[in-house]
Amino acid sequence: MMRFPVICVPFLPMAGMALFPFILIKRSEYKGDQVLLNHERIHIVQQLELLLVGFYLLYFLNYLINLLKYKKHELAYLNIVFEKEAYRRESETSYLKRREIWAWRRFLSF
């Protein structure tokens, strides 16, 4: 399993966030939440595939398009292609061992 430093950031507005090479969590007890950590590890791999800047550009662009489409933040966020992959696979602890490169593309929808 890939290991990335996990840092507790109490003022984080969400439970967790991947910011290569770190996984940021809101509460120290989340260090034991394997589903949350796996979700964030999936994002780190996505970030690496797109050389960080590409990930953030596509993430933001996908969010804006979704916001125009769905008119609600939560729906726009949940339909970001990178989030779709991470949420769908977060409970599969061995997913990253067998994941194909750019697997997030399978979650694109037009």
Sheet with 16-19, edge to edge strand ranges? 6-8, 22-25, 16-19
Enclosing domain of residue 42: 6-99
The answer to whether position 87 is within a domain reads: yes
Contact between 106 and 85 (Cβ < 8 Å): yes
Any domain includes 92 = yes
Residue 1 lies in a domain: no
Return the pLDDT at 2. Answer: 72
Domain count, the chain: 1
Which residues have CB under 8 Å from 84's CB, separation 6+?
78, 104, 107
Handedness of CA 7, 26, 71, 104 (dihedral sign): positive
In tens, the pLDDT along 46-95 reads 999 999 999 999 999 999 999 999 999 999 999 999 999 999 999 999 99
Chain Cα centroid distance, residue 50:
13
Quote the pLDDT of residue 109: 82
| CA separation for the pair 91, 25 (Å, rounded) | 17
Is 110 contained in some domain? no
Instruction: Give pLDDT, residue 41.
Output: 98
Is residue 89 assigned to a domain?
A: yes
Q: What confidence tens digit (pLDDT) does each residue in 10-46 have?
A: 999 999 999 999 999 999 999 999 999 999 999 999 9
